[in-house]
Amino acid sequence: MAASTPANDALDIAKIRAQFPALASGFIFGDNAGGSQILGDAIDRLRDYLVNSNCQLGATYSVSALSTQRVLEGVRDVAALFNAKGPEEVTLGYTSSLLVENLARALEPDVQPGDELVITGEHEANAGPWKKLAARKGLTLKVWHPVPNNPENPYSVALRVDDLLPLITPRTRIVAFTACSNILGSIVPVQDVVAAVRRVAKERGADRVQVSVDCVAYAPHRRMDVQAWVVDFCVFSLYKVYGPHAAALYIRASALPSLSSIAHHFLPTSAVSKLQLGGPGYELNWAATAIAPYLRSLTPAGTLEAAFDAVAAHEQTLVRPLLGYLRGKAARGVRIVGEEREGLGRVPTVSFVVVGEHPVRSKDIVDVFDRKGGIGIRYGHFYAYTLVDSLQPKLDIDDGVVRISFVHYNTVQEVERVIEVLEEALAT
């Protein structure tokens, strides 16, 4: 399939695609928000670990020493993706859902009845553990809801910080929000939101407030910077950022004392030992070391910052024609769910529904793609159950929305092909 030619610091898409073995099939992966394809180098490292260093950690013999080194290097490289101060602030696990649940369990002894939690009703990996903690401990749960921003499209909703700040009181203990919606595609200005939360919390005497950020839908598209953001906790999934099926949790060093260990009592009190039940996925840690070098290789500058700037620029060439096409189908009843305009404030994850006099079920649209073959998109609520269920006019939660999600290895030609099939599906 044709790919763009690089210019200056633009991405070399042909070179990029050659590093993902699955892309050689020609299949168009349009469900990347559910999980990206994995780098060939990460696949090689998985095999290399299992063939050459597959043993228990911490022993004195040579193969165990190699295994221990590789596992630690995985944590170190993931810490760089967060821009954490060091690997002692990071723990790896199998999913973001698991890691946030572990975090909530570790915080449980430190919360008190009457404390308040503020969450966004986005992906349940972020919302669910806090809901369960509130139920177990008798806490007050508040939801920062997105609101409509276009009177002609009630499904065009977004989070506004002005709606968050009134939710903070002297009893606020946790503020947990998403950096990017896996349904709406819109980016939340994390640094500004955290600064506003901390300012208002201080004014209102909420001196124990901690901030947790869900970066699962953000990390494939933008540079994380937990130090600049001044967040206490941050989570993302490696398998959505071109790596193995694993996830990572950042815990700010100053937040560690508030956590009780949920691991073996005799282990040291680091982020790794407090939140990690048993050993990590050793081969997954080693495979994770492929991600940062790949990203740094994307531009001549060789930095993660430059890489994500280039990724964001290329992804705008992907989302622009898709959003333009969907906006042009408003008379047909197409309604974009989330931000309707392209720009650096959104990523190429686009959701929509077809309503009006001649509605089309989301499932029926995806069925057209499945019958045609060669393209993978999906419908549903995508674990953002609370968000999709809150949209008005109300949607069938099981049918949900159609979601198409691209990342930087996709091409404009692939987007054009998706639009061709959409045209057929909407002709129903």
- Residue range 262-270: mean pLDDT, rounded: 69
Nearest CA to 215 among 192, 182, 183, 243?
182
CATH superfamily of 13-37+302-426: Aspartate Aminotransferase, domain 1 (3.90.1150.10)
pLDDT above 80 for 251: yes
Place of tokens 């009006």: 356
Cβ count within 10 A of residue 324: 12
Q: What is the largest CA-CA distance in the chain?
A: 72
Please tell me which of 23-27, 254-258, 275-279 the model is most confident about, judged by mean pLDDT: 23-27
Cβ count within 10 A of residue 292: 19
Nearest-angstrom CA–CA distance, 141 and 418: 40
Asked if 345 and 186 touch (Cβ cutoff 8 Å), the reply is yes
- pLDDT value for 277: 78
Classify domain 62-294 by CATH number.
3.40.640.10
pLDDT above 50 for 2: no
Q: How confident is residue 9, by pLDDT bands cut at 50, 70 and 90?
A: low
Angle at which helices 40-52 and 62-82 pack, to 10 degrees? 150
- Residue range 246-256: mean pLDDT, rounded: 95
pLDDT above 70 for 270: no
- Residue range 56-79: mean pLDDT, rounded: 96
Local structure of 213: helix, strand or coil: strand
Nearest-angstrom CA–CA distance, 152 and 137: 42
**Amino acid at site 234:** C
Asked if 30 and 376 touch (Cβ cutoff 8 Å), the reply is yes
Indicate if the alpha-carbon torsion angle 234, 238, 240, 246 is positive or negative: negative
Nearest-angstrom CA–CA distance, 351 and 183: 6
pLDDT above 70 for 3: no
- Structure tokens belonging to residue 84: 């954490």
Task: State the DSSP string of 163-181.
Answer: HHGGG--TTEEEEEEESB-
How far is CA 382 from its chain centroid? 12
Q: How confident is residue 269, by pLDDT bands cut at 50, 70 and 90?
A: low
| Domain layout of the chain by residue ranges | 13-37+302-426, 62-294
Q: How confident is residue 4, by pLDDT bands cut at 50, 70 and 90?
A: very low
- pLDDT value for 267: 65
- pLDDT value for 272: 65
pLDDT above 80 for 72: yes
pLDDT one-digit tens code per residue, 117-143? 999 988 898 999 999 999 999 999 999
Q: How confident is residue 405, by pLDDT bands cut at 50, 70 and 90?
A: very high
Nearest CA to 126 among 32, 288, 264, 249?
249
- pLDDT value for 7: 47
Asked if 158 and 184 touch (Cβ cutoff 8 Å), the reply is yes
